[in-house]
Chain A
Amino acid sequence: MTDHHNAYDGLLGGDASQWAFGTDFEDPLAGVDTTLPEGADAAALAAYCLMLGDDALIYSHRLSEWASNAPDLEEDIALANVALDLLGQARLLLARAAAADPDAVPALPPGSPVPPEDALAFFRDEHAFRNVRLVEAENGDFAVTVVRLLVFSTYRLALVQRLATSRDPVLSAIAAKAVKELTYHRDYAGRWFLTLARGTEESRRRLVRGLDLVWPLHDELFVAHDVERLVAEQGVGVDPASVADEVDVLLEQVFSVSGLERPRLPRTGSVAGGTGRHGRHSEGMGRLLAEMQVVARAHPTGRW
């Protein structure tokens, strides 16, 4: 029997001969204590998991748009792998959000087999998503994508490295898994950044343009929402402002090796006093959600 709540059921143990190549898949949450840590605010923990989960989910969807559209087959698969890593993180984080605060999960028709993390992904409206606006922006060309992936993976890696010591054992386990994945994403993006910077006149021009497009949304990554500050105080989460200096030094290294200056551009303004973490999103977000959610919403009792 396959359990909808665990993607690893059916891959763990059992008959290994059905798999042509690798087996020995590991459940990142195996043996992890899932009770809420003492003194942690359940609603705040859930809101925090939504923030980290939505960053991964929305960026995963954007990157998946490269499938069949990348400059060549190898990049196609590389970007799809990154997207799948992030989707896996999103699933675990949204499931944790649902476990911490079941009231956050949208109600579905009685008898619907949709698991709570899917309900959160596919049945929330735009204003309920808590991702930063950097990840929802349209991909642009390959150079823009490389710049955005470099900024995002450098930021998220610094974040999950600290999150690995969270007092919440589930967040800690998810972070430990994510560290390995994001180390590769950052390496991939960094290599491409240098390759494009040192490539042709055209590749460098496109990279500089990519920096100009991505940079205005960079600052928002490090502005802490009240929820982020609260979970950081409780030893459960990480205040994003605390990773700003480290990310800055790392990005500066890439820029200086590439012979590029960081853009001097004003940050994208807030909307009605809020940013992505408050559920205020940019123009592309609505279209992204429409495409991502349309099938699930058309069949709320569907079995997949």
Chain B
Amino acid sequence: MSGVEQEWPLYEIFVRGKRGLNHVHVGSLHAADDEMALRHARDVYTRRNEGVSIWAVRADAVVASSPDEKDPLFAPAGDKVYRHPTFYAIPDDVPYM
């Protein structure tokens, strides 16, 4: 069995719902290769009529921020309310703000 990985690699799965505009992370699963990851995602995450499109990404290809960096990365944005466009009137016919 030398050279055979005991565990399949992990994939992160993103699904775009029928009424959704973007792909949303729904979970993760194991698969032997990219194609199988798509099939597995179809079977595991879209069996209740949820989706119209799937992205599968190798989990080890995702670059993630570290929880240790939480304060320097995100805290500075916490008190800058003026960055939100809440001081403007939004016309009624502008969707998805």
Contacts and interface: CB of A to CB of B under 8 A. Distances in A.
Interface of A: 19, 21-25, 72-74, 77-78, 81, 187-188, 191, 195, 200
Given A72-B30, A191-B35, A78 B49 contact: no
A228 to B, nearest CB: 33
Interface residues of B, number: 20
Interface in B47-68: 47-51
Contact of B47 (A24, A81, A188): A81
B16 to A, nearest CB: 12
Contacts of A200: 1, 4
B39 A25 contact: no
Interface in B37-84: 39-40, 43-44, 47-51
Contacts of B32: 195
A24 B17 CA distance: 12
A77 B43 CA distance: 7
Contacts of A74: 29-31, 40, 43-44
Nearest to B51: A22
A194 B21 CA distance: 36
Contacts of B36: 191, 195
30 contacts: A19-B48, A21-B17, A21-B48, A21-B49, A22-B17, A22-B18, A22-B48, A22-B49, A25-B49, A72-B8, A73-B29, A73-B30, A74-B29, A74-B30, A74-B40, A74-B43, A74-B44, A77-B44, A77-B47, A78-B39, A78-B40, A78-B43, A81-B43, A81-B47, A187-B39, A191-B35, A191-B39, A195-B32, A195-B36, A200-B1
Nearest to A78: B43
A24 B48 CA distance: 10
A281 B17 CA distance: 45
A225 B48 CA distance: 38
A35 B17 CA distance: 38
A23 B47 contact: no
Contacts of A72: 8, 30
Contacts of A191: 35-36, 39
B83 to A, nearest CB: 33
A188 B39 contact: yes
Given A74-B30, A77-B44, A24 B49 contact: yes
A99 to B, nearest CB: 27
A188 B39 CA distance: 8
Contacts of B30: 72-74
Contact of B49 (A23, A81, A187, A188): A23
A188 B32 CA distance: 14
Contacts of A23: 49
A197 to B, nearest CB: 14
A72 B39 CA distance: 14
Contacts of B35: 191
10 residue pairs, one from A and one from B, having the closest CB atoms: A22-B49, A21-B50, A74-B40, A78-B43, A22-B50, A22-B48, A21-B48, A77-B43, A77-B44, A81-B43
A24 B4 contact: no
Contacts of B40: 74, 78
A73 B10 CA distance: 13
